[in-house]
Structure 1
Amino acid sequence: MHFGGAVFFTEYSMPAQDLARALEERGFESVWAAEHSHIPASRKTPFPGGGDLPKPYYDGMDPFVALTAAACATTTLKIGTAVCLVQQRDAIQTAKLVASIDQVSGGRFLFGIGGGWNQDEMENHGTVYATRFKRMRESIEAMKEIWTRPKAEYHGEMIRFDPIYAWPKPVQKPYPPILVGGGFPHGARRAIRYGDGWIPVSVLGDVGDLLPQFQAMARDAGRDPASLEITMMGPARDVDKLKRFADLGVRRVVAMLPSDGRDKTLASVDRWAEIMRQVNA
């Protein structure tokens, strides 16, 4: 099982390049950056985690900038978005960002995406909350056209453009892995429909009990379950449970790290490094 670390990179967190080097030195597979473009003063939707919204949500850097710094400071560490809110981004520009960071990193980018929860944030971008998942799917379908064709065009209900030339193309072929975040069953279905993996979020109960159902859904849709990576974000530090997840086919576990200074962040990294050693012993 692979292990990674995710964080809201901020002006007060451990710098991305320093954290990336620390993770690579300790044998982690990947580093992940969270995203919110901004936090509106109004709130139509409550924070899914309950209570007040944590400060790093307000202060987070652009994930592509932070991950570029991480990529330039390392040689093997993969870099990923956890998750990119594509439904409130321009599809053509985001396709260029993804291909560019894949080029800069030498093919190490993992494209974690999600439909988001903050209605006010999306509406400030002109995204309709009720149709955000359709926009997310069309955005990814349009990006795939851009990444794989010298002359790309896409005509959906929300995303549409006539033939264009857009470079660079990604290093990874046909494009970086698209890991779709979401709950069960709807998020799982989206991952099977147009993704290369699933990031289970807001799942009630033990996700391990849902994996056989996910695999059956994949087979019913004509997908090989082995081709769909399962990435667990922020699991409990339970070695036995993580070993069980590995046996069930979970490919990677990503620890949520604090948006804090070097000492507190590295203490968390080291605790997870010991868990990684025990799980993979």
Structure 2
Amino acid sequence: MRIGVSTFVTDEGIGAADLGRALEERGLDSLFLAEHSHIPASRETPLPEGGDLPRRYYRTLDPFVALSAAAAVTERITLGTGIALLVQRDPIMVAKEAASVDHISEGRFVLGVGSGWNREEMRNHGTDPTTRVALLGERVSAIKRIWTREQAEFHGAFVDFDPMYSWPKPVQRPHIPVLLGGEAATVLDRVMEYGDGWFPRWQRDPEPLARRIAELRTRCEQEGRERMPVVLFGVPPRAEDIAAAVELDIDQLLVMLPTLPHDETLRRLDDIAALRPGARRGAVPG
């Protein structure tokens, strides 16, 4: 079982480069970064899990920039967006940014994407919240076309461009894996249609998640598809939650790392490393 962290890197917490090095030093496997371009002051859309919106949501660094910094000082860990709000981003630029991080990291990048929840945030980017799911599908498909074709073009309802050239191409073949976030009733339809894996959030009751994972496995088998990876993110840094998550049919779990200053973050990473199955309490794997 591969275990990494999901977190928000901000201007008030540990830097991305130091965080990446610390993960490798402790034998952890991956770093996935969240993003919000901004948070509108109106705050019309409530936080999905309830409560006040934490500061980290409007102070987060751009994930592609932060992951590039981590890529430059690491050699082993997987680096990913968790998640990139693709409905708020230009697909041509995302294709280049993602391929650039994959190039810098020598093939260690994963693109996690989603349609977002903050309606006023996406409206500021010119995105209609009512059509964001269809928009997400077209943008993923367009990005994959840019990655895999020497001369790419795309003509859809939301994305439209004539034949074009764009380099670098991803190091990974046939392209960078795209993990699709979300837990809606139709999310597995979208995973099967244009994703390369599912990227759900941890839930207090793992049983519904186990059923959805089993459904994904069955659908892949019925359609003659290869087994799709499931990366579970947002797992609390508690032994009981990690133990329950490990029992699921997943490929990787990401422990939620709070956004904290440098030294406190390192102490939290020591604790997370010690919670891995088979880890010796108090040891820092090298």
1:219 aligns with 2:221: yes
Q: Which residue of structure 2 aligns with residue 188 of structure 1?
A: 188
Q: For 2:151 and 2:270, locate their aligned partners in 1 and report how far apart those are by CA, in whole Å.
A: 47
1:182–1:188 CA contact under 8 A, matched in 2:
no
Counterpart of 2:13, as a letter, is S
2:153–2:162 CA contact under 8 A, matched in 1:
yes
Q: How far did 1:49 drift?
A: 1.8
Deviates further, 62-71 or 186-195: 186-195
TM-score (norm 2): 0.91
Deviations 1:182-218 (Å, cap 9, x if unpaired)? 1043222212221111011375732224321222233
Runs of 4+ residues over 6 Å off in structure 1: none
Deviations 1:50-101 (Å, cap 9, x if unpaired)? 0111100010010011100000011111110000011110011110001111
1:87–1:136 CA contact under 8 A, matched in 2:
yes
SS in 2 for 1:234: strand
Q: Which residue of structure 1 aligns with residue 112 of structure 2?
A: 112
TM-score (norm 1): 0.93
Q: How far did 1:7 drift?
A: 1.6
Q: Which residue of structure 2 aligns with residue 48 of structure 1?
A: 48
1:192–1:223 CA contact under 8 A, matched in 2:
no
1:21–1:73 CA contact under 8 A, matched in 2:
yes
Counterpart of 1:218, as a letter, is C
Deviations 1:225-271 (Å, cap 9, x if unpaired)? x2x11111122445566456445431111111111102221222111
1:243–1:279 CA contact under 8 A, matched in 2:
no
Q: For 2:275 and 2:181, locate their aligned partners in 1 and report how far apart those are by CA, in whole Å.
A: 24
SS in 2 for 1:276: coil
Deviates further, 240-249 or 271-280: 240-249
2:154–2:160 CA contact under 8 A, matched in 1:
yes
2:85–2:115 CA contact under 8 A, matched in 1:
yes
Counterpart of 1:210, as a letter, is R
For 1:1-281, what aligned pairs fall within 5 Å after superposition? 1-201=1-201, 205-206=205-206, 207-224=209-226, 226=227, 228-237=228-237, 239=239, 242-243=242-243, 245-278=245-278
The unaligned stretches of length 5 or more in structure 1 are none
2:111–2:178 CA contact under 8 A, matched in 1:
yes
1:189–1:217 CA contact under 8 A, matched in 2:
no
Q: How far did 1:175 drift?
A: 1.1
CA-atom RMSD, angstroms?
Answer: 2.0
Counterpart of 1:229, as a letter, is P
SS in 2 for 1:81: strand
Q: For 1:156 and 1:31, locate their aligned partners in 2 and report how far apart those are by CA, in whole Å.
A: 33
1:208–1:245 CA contact under 8 A, matched in 2:
no
Q: For 1:236 and 1:202, locate their aligned partners in 2 and report how far apart those are by CA, in whole Å.
A: 8
Counterpart of 1:91, as a letter, is P
1:102–1:172 CA contact under 8 A, matched in 2:
yes
1:192–1:221 CA contact under 8 A, matched in 2:
no
Q: For 1:6 and 1:35, locate their aligned partners in 2 and report how far apart those are by CA, in whole Å.
A: 11
